[in-house]
Amino acid sequence: MKRLIPLLAALAIATPLHAEPVTPPTAQASAMSEGVVRKIDTANAKITLRHGPLTNLDMPPMTMVFRVQPPELLSGIKVGDKVKFRAEQVDGAFTVTAIQAAP
């Protein structure tokens, strides 16, 4: 009986804690950033967004003007919309290359 005690203690220590579920990162989610439309300049294909962190551009949250390419992306977007968008640097200019109103 005396010899059982160390064995039980070892078993108790060896009992695994339940594993954390591993959530694979979604490529789509990491590529799109969040923002709010502050201003739209259709004539010049520009949009002012208050945006969250842009991980792909290493940019902190701020309000700034982006070029929009193609300009047709602006149709269906209006001031005040919460949006998900993709920003890239195109010819040195920060450019929105995809945008959609977020629910």
Gap between the Cα atoms of 55 and 88, Å rounded: 11
Distance of closest approach, residue 51 Cβ to Cu ion, in angstroms: 6
Shortest distance, CB of residue 57 to Cu ion, whole angstroms?
7
Q: What count of Cα atoms within 13 Å lies in the side-chain half-sphere of residue 77?
A: 28
Least separation, in Å, of the C-beta of 101 and Cu ion?
20
Q: Which of 64, 65, 73, 98 binds Cu ion (CB under 5 A)?
A: 64
Determine how many CB atoms are found less than 10 A away from the CB of residue 44.
11
Q: Which of residues 22-61 bind Cu ion (CB under 5 A)?
A: 59
Size of the site for Cu ion (CB under 5 A): 3
> Shortest Cβ contact with Cu ion: which residue?
64
For residues 36 and 82, the answer to whether their CB atoms sit within 8 Å is: yes
92/6 Cα distance (integer angstroms)? 67
93 lines the binding site for Cu ion (CB under 5 A): no
